Each structure stands twice: as C-alpha cells, then as structure tokens.
Amino acid sequence: MRFFDTNVLVYAQDDSNPEKRAIAIDLITHALEVNHDGCISTQVLQEFCNTLCKKTRRTKEEIDTMLDGFRELLATDVTIDLVRHALQVKEEYGIQYYDALVVSAAEKLGCHEIISEDLSDGQLYRGMRAVNPFK
C-alpha cells in the first residue's frame, strides 16, 4: 500500500506546474487502476480542500468533482487514538505534527511507502519508506 500526502493530490490538480502535475496524475492513476494500493486519510482530504479553496479559488462544484476522483483510494479517519500515536511519532522522529499524523495514518493502513515531498526522501518511518517523486 502507498500513502499519498496532500501535496500529491494538490499537484494532480495544479495547472501551474505541468511537470509535477504529470507525476502526480501518473502516481494516482497507477494506484487506482493498476495496483489498487492508494491510501489517504481524512487529514489529507481536509488539507486538499483547504489548499484548493485558498490558493486556486476553485468552486465547490469543481472540488466536489475532484473528490470523486479520489473515492477509490483507501481512507482512514483521524481519531483520538491516531492523534495520540502521531504525538509519539513526532517525538520519535523530530518531525512536524501534521507530518507525524500522515506517518501514523499510513502505518494504520499497513502502507509500505509514503509518497510526499514533506518527509525526508528515502528515510524509513516505522518501517515505511518516504518517497519524494518531485525532487
């Protein structure tokens, strides 16, 4: 399983950076249509919507359509237990809280990779490798 951080979903909708957009679309499409191994969390969806509302001024209808495209990704909710786990991960790795929440959600879903430009590329977090496809 591969966990997609917010930036991957955002880049898939970002017309201002065609190179990153193509990479993100390829990753998501491959996860949905070939491997059936893409994962996200409610945190990622919230950050995705917030970013699009603030930075791109997309309409509710446009965002609704984009969200439909992610419906097939396995998702987990952010719960009190997940937040507590994220606090442990934050301390363990010395990373930002929201990055630790991504790691915790990915671990909960049994992922082997976290696709993100926010984590250290190649580093193992709780046995999951961080991969930055945009470097």
The tens digit of pLDDT for each residue in 26-65 reads 999 999 988 899 999 999 999 999 999 888 878 899 999 9
**Does 104 score more than 80 pLDDT?**
yes
- Confidence grade of residue 14 (pLDDT, cut at 50, 70, 90): confident
Mean pLDDT of the chain: 95
The tens digit of pLDDT for each residue in 77-100 reads 999 999 999 999 999 999 999 999
Alpha helices (H) along the chain: 6-11, 18-30, 42-51, 60-69, 80-93, 97-108
Dump the DSSP string for 100-125: HHHHHHHHHTT-SEEE-SSS-TT-EE
**Does 127 score more than 80 pLDDT?**
yes
Q: Structure tokens of 37?
A: 């191994």
Query: Can you tell me the distance from the alpha carbon of 116 to that of 41, in angstroms, rounded to the nearest whole number?
Result: 13
Give pLDDT, residue 56: 81
Residue type, 127: G
Structural domains of the chain ordered from first start:
2-131 (3.40.50.1010)
**Does 5 score more than 90 pLDDT?**
yes
Q: What is the mean pLDDT of residues 103-108?
A: 98
- Confidence grade of residue 19 (pLDDT, cut at 50, 70, 90): very high
